[in-house]
Chain A
Amino acid sequence: MSSSTSSRWTDQEMTKRVRRRYRSERIFRGIGFAAISLSVLFLAFLLWNMASKGIGGFSQYEAALPIDFSKSDLFLDPATIKGPDARTTVAGADLSTAISKAAEAAYGPDAERMFSDAAVDRVTDAIVANPGMLTGTPTLWLPVSSKVDIAAKGDGEPAAEKVVSELQQKHALKRVFNMRFLTSADATDPSAVGVWGALKGSFYTIMVTILLAFPIGVLAAVYLEEFAPQNRWTDAIEVSINNLAAVPSIIFGLLGLAVFLDVMNLPRSAPIVGGLTLALMTFPVIVIAGRNAIKTVPPSIRDAALGVGASKMQVTFHHVLPLALPGILTGTIIGVARALGETAPLLMIGMRAFVAAPPSGISDPATVLPVQIFLWSDEVDRGFIEKTSAAIIVLLLFMLLMNGLAIYLRNRFERRW
């Protein structure tokens, strides 16, 4: 030991060195804390960013519009509007022009295009409900166009701002909950779009995925964990499952395109193809979760059942599987949640088409929520920004719900042996 390094704790040099070491300890700890805080802050910022942008998408401004039907060129006779054909009759008339004319008459030339495409539906509904209004001048509250809507929310173009201030002076503007966003499908006009179509598409797709991937995944896990002999086949199966779990999702999309669409000729853009593709992607996740859950069931359970004369199959299906089920379900929900948020493979199989009607079965053209978000994010119209973020809020709520369910199941049912 050289003379410069003193070995006594009370030495000034030694205390200085110890103090330096403690300082670097604090710094290191600080860096660790900073890293985790930064990660959490990123998450908080991301969520806040989406929430603050998207919350506006759930509300919508409506303006009062007196429509003088006698002055409009609608050739609608209140007497003919009844029965099951009432809607078609009304829809055949040019309501859109009637609305813009009425808007121009009420709020000046700038207001000609101040109403959303959704206003036509609203007026149709009103007329069908009460055909008598065609003879008078009723005042209807109608959703405004997205330009006016943005201006009313405080960030619009000068022309739209003028319309808004005009409306505000006449007290003809109010903010309401945008029910249409939750009940309708895609549209070209951002103030008329909704997520219902995409939600329905997601529902059908995920149903196909669960119905295929869950039983097959669980059975495969049971086979590999309880019955598989040690041979080459088993090795090949295990290697492929582990590899499939790490294959990029877009590759599954290419597989779906080549096999389901090109070879099997299944309908393009349909939930059945999306569900099949996502099932192939989710299957290895379920197998791996299933195997881990089955592994945690203690051998004594199996031994006890075998001891009282149960066959291997009875042991597995009467005792091991029920005990492993909570763990398998947790893994399945997490895998399905991932499939629910998946976009890329579905783009490959054509689920990016513009679908204005909600699908009514697994072979109808459909889109899913994440793809809908992607499609809206590509739109140039500024009105789509808040709709995209609002759709993201809906998607994140679903993810939160599923992950919460998985955590609940894990805490409630999973046993430590």
Chain B
Amino acid sequence: MSLGLALVAILIVALAAGWYGYVRAGRLRAANRLHSLPSYHGAYAALWAAIPALLLIAAWAPMQSRMVDQAVLASPEGKALPNFEMQRESILSEAREIANGEREQGFNAESTTIAPRIREEQSRFALMGGATAILVALVAAGLALRRSAPEFRARQGVERWVMAVLFSASLIAILTTLGILLSLLFESLRFFRLYPAGSFFFGLEWSPQMAIRADQAGSSGAFGSIPLLWGTFFIGAIIAMVVAVPLGLMSAIYLTQYAPARVRSWLKPILEILAGVPTVVYGYFAALTVAPVVRDFGLSIGITSASSESALAAGSVMGIMIIPFVSSMADDSIAAVPQAMRDGSLAMGATKSETIRKVLLPAALPGVMGGVLLAVSRAIGETMIVVMAAGLAANLTLNPFQSVTTVTTQIVGLLTGEQEFDSPKTLAAFALGLALFAITLLLNLIALHIVRRYREQYE
């Protein structure tokens, strides 16, 4: 018997209990006035039959595989396995696949001999868990059905369950946040045990290649994050914003203040398409079309170090991607400026552009600033454009024609390729992830604070 079978059995029990509860309440209804509709009586019994038993299965399933392993290792066949942990693990995982019918034969001879054992233990534990769960379902259904009476408040009982489901759905948000925080912190701490945190946060050299042999030269593995943070800042906060802020702001001004309604209804969705294009497309565009043009331009104005993976190419394409974001943020904050201020300025004889420049923009400035900070936070977390168009060389440079690298590029670089979970290289990716998470969180908090303060000003 497998747990899947138990699952089906529980669902059948729940359906049967629900149907019986419904029919019984219907019969009661013939003679009495019921508090709740028969359908609620049915749902009450079905929910009680299903939910506790399903929770039990959900808790049992992960425990089962661990207990099976222990039982197999304790058996005579298991004791005969080699003591070396990695070898034992690989034999076990092979045997598991054979037991599940995913493959015919193992690479190691032992796996074939212990496969029947695993199958046996698996069915034993599944029987244990499954039978308990079915028993729980039956008992709970019985108890729930016993309560059905004319005055029984079945609707309230059902609504309590629904409420519990609603609440647990919203708990997913907290669980995800905790999961992100804990996994990043945990792996980063493991990294800082291997590599000093001070050198990570303040080190000026980044060369994650580890020496494979002790006598190899020049690859000691330096994880100084400053060049990466600079590259991230240079591309995301400087170059991209130089492109996105003027274009986005002026687009928003034109769309909200000047454009006729028909033009606006066409241009706005078009601008939104710019935000909907997948980033991998921008990355390909940056690498294949923009980068060569930027390099040739750099060479033609005499910059010999112009790279084909320049910061300028990645940053400017990222800026294009951010335009709609800046534009909609600016749009919101300009719209929030009270109409009276605009009317006052126009009544004094100021032209439209004078009103915009001298009244609307200064009044909307905090909101626009908040929007720009949000845009920066989005730009520095952006991955594909920089992975495809910016380089892997960690340069501390101010020259936009040279190649710089970013935090996200390095995370992708570190985690693809050979995958060994305990090497400093992989763990460093999590430390970088933690830094990125902290920076974007901080930017968002500041931005939201500015925007909220600004909104309050006019409310």
Interface of A toward B, CB cutoff 8 Å: 21-22, 24-25, 28-29, 31-36, 38-40, 42-43, 46, 49-50, 53, 215-217, 219-220, 222-224, 227-228, 236-237, 240-244, 246-252, 254-255, 257-259, 262, 264, 280, 283-284, 287, 311-313, 337-338, 340-344, 347-348, 350, 352, 370-371, 373-374, 377, 385, 388-389, 392, 395-396, 399, 403, 407
Q: Is the interface of B mostly helix, strand, loop or mixed?
A: helix
Known A39-B247, A219-B165, A248-B440: A287·B173 in contact at CB below 8 Å: yes
Report the bound CA distance from A258 to B184 in whole Å. Answer: 8
- Whether B433 is near chain A, meaning CB under 8 Å from some CB there, is yes
Interface of B toward A, CB cutoff 8 Å: 62, 155, 159, 162-163, 165-167, 169-174, 176-177, 179-180, 183-184, 186-187, 246-251, 253-255, 257-259, 267, 269-271, 273-274, 276-285, 287-289, 320, 323-324, 327, 351-354, 356-357, 374, 377-378, 380-384, 387-388, 408, 411-412, 415-416, 419, 421, 429-430, 433, 436-437, 440-441, 444, 448
B326 CB, nearest partner CB in chain A, Å? 10
Residues of A within 8 A of B382 (CB): 248
B104 CB, nearest partner CB in chain A, Å? 18
Q: Give 8 new A-B contacts, CB below 8 A, not counting A311-B155, A348-B412.
A: A25-B354, A29-B254, A42-B323, A228-B170, A246-B374, A250-B408, A373-B281, A396-B281
Report the bound CA distance from A86 to B352 in whole Å. Answer: 79
Report the bound CA distance from A344 to B406 in whole Å. Answer: 14
Evaluate contact between B277 and A248: CB separation under 8 angstroms. Answer: no
Residues of B within 8 A of A257 (CB): 415
Evaluate contact between B436 and A250: CB separation under 8 angstroms. Answer: yes
- What is the count of residue pairs linking A and B with beta-carbon distances less than 8 angstroms? 242
> Which residue of the partner chain B has the closest CB to A36?
B251
Residues of A within 8 A of B254 (CB): 29, 32-33, 35-36
Report the bound CA distance from A246 to B443 in whole Å. Answer: 10
Evaluate contact between A40 and B270: CB separation under 8 angstroms. Answer: yes
Of A42, A224, A343, the contact of B170 (CB 8 Å cutoff): A224
Evaluate contact between B250 and A35: CB separation under 8 angstroms. Answer: yes
A392 CB, nearest partner CB in chain B, Å? 5
A410 CB, nearest partner CB in chain B, Å? 11
Report the bound CA distance from A350 to B415 in whole Å. Answer: 9
A42 CB, nearest partner CB in chain B, Å? 5
Residues of B within 8 A of A284 (CB): 173
Evaluate contact between A46 and B258: CB separation under 8 angstroms. Answer: no
Evaluate contact between B281 and A36: CB separation under 8 angstroms. Answer: no
Residues of B within 8 A of A352 (CB): 416
Report the bound CA distance from A73 to B419 in whole Å. Answer: 44
Evaluate contact between B274 and A42: CB separation under 8 angstroms. Answer: yes
Evaluate contact between A236 and B271: CB separation under 8 angstroms. Answer: no
Known A28-B353, A28-B357: A374·B384 in contact at CB below 8 Å: yes
Evaluate contact between B183 and A39: CB separation under 8 angstroms. Answer: no
Report the bound CA distance from A347 to B388 in whole Å. Answer: 13
Q: Which of A32, A38, A236 has the most CB of B within 10 A?
A: A32
